[in-house]
């Protein structure tokens, strides 16, 4: 329920962070794709390969294509492989002197860390993003997701409030805010029941039933 997509605000930030540059990068520097089949012309292919200069002739990938492929890897559960490529790509950008921050790449790194159960590391990345780009709702929303997994419901509620401040129409954050408020209500009912309020126990059970998937 806390998965995100690239909203117009995030797209604007990507351009501001240097993703709009026309530069492209060789695919085999990041991804280990198998070579294309030669269509049966192996002899001719071998001859041409022997005559060709030792230059990389693979079709380059644009920055957006790279991040799309990494996102696909995360969706497939290949989190460690995706994180390795993300870190390699970040090192590549630093070596090449790229200007600005690849915001989407940073967001994908946090997703990969969370998927690998490196929760505190993911939180650090999301919090850094909310400091650098407070106008983006997605990092706030995913930060709330991590807080919920740690039982920090008030902090999750505050993060979702910031996501909705950034984008009042962000439906995912609205739904998540509703869930967090129900979880807080269940906590309050349970606390009241423990202090002897008889009706609170039934209210807690009803609230818990609403939260069931």
Q: From residue 106, how far is each of 14, 56, 90, 112, 153 by CA, in Å?
A: 11, 28, 9, 10, 25
Q: Give residue 60's domain range.
A: 8-211
Q: How far apart, in whole angstroms, are the C-alpha atoms of residue 122 and residue 125?
A: 5
Is residue 1 assigned to a domain? no
Pair 94, 109: CB distance under 8 Å: no
Phi, psi of 61 (to 5 degrees): -105, 140
Compute the C-alpha angle 97/31/61, nearest 5°.
60
Is residue 99 assigned to a domain? yes
Is residue 3 assigned to a domain? no
26-60: pLDDT as tens digits: 444 666 655 555 555 454 444 444 444 444 445 66
Is residue 180 assigned to a domain? yes
Is residue 158 assigned to a domain? yes
pTM for the model? 0.74
The residue written with tokens 């008889």 in the block is 198
pLDDT level of residue 101 (50, 70, 90 thresholds): confident
What CATH number did the domain enclosing 166 receive? 1.25.40.10
Q: How far apart, in whole angstroms, are the C-alpha atoms of residue 27 and residue 211?
A: 44
Task: Provide the domain count of the chain.
Answer: 1
Is residue 161 assigned to a domain? yes
104-123: pLDDT as tens digits: 999 999 999 999 999 999 99
Task: Classify each residue of 117-153 as buried b or exposed e, where b means 16 or more C-beta atoms within 10 Å of its C-beta.
Answer: ebeeebbebbbebbeebeebbbbbbbbbbbbbeeeeb
Is residue 150 assigned to a domain? yes
117-142: pLDDT as tens digits: 999 999 999 999 999 999 999 999 99
Is residue 178 assigned to a domain? yes
Residue 89, pLDDT above cutoff 60: yes
């Amino acid at each position: 329920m806390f998965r995100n997509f690239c909203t117009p605000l995030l797209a604007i930030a990507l351009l501001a962070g240097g993703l709009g540059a026309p530069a492209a990068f060789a695919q085999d520097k990041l991804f280990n794709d198998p070579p294309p089949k030669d269509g049966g012309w192996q002899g001719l292919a071998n001859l041409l390969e022997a005559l060709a200069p030792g230059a990389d002739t693979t079709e380059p990938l644009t920055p957006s294509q790279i991040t799309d492929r990494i996102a696909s890897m995360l969706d497939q559960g290949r989190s460690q492989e995706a994180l390795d490529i993300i870190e390699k790509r970040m090192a590549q950008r630093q070596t090449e002197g790229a200007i600005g921050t690849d915001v989407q790449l940073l967001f994908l790194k946090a997703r990969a860390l969370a998927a690998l159960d490196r929760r505190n590391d993911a939180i650090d990345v999301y919090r850094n993003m909310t400091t650098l780009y407070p106008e983006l709702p997605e990092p706030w929303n995913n930060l709330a997701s991590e807080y919920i997994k740690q039982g920090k419901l008030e902090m999750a509620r505050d993060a979702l409030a910031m996501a909705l401040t950034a984008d009042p129409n962000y439906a995912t954050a609205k739904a998540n805010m509703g869930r967090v408020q129900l979880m807080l209500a269940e906590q309050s009912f349970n606390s009241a029941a423990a202090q002897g309020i008889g009706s609170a126990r039934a209210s807690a059970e009803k609230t818990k039933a609403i939260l069931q998937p």
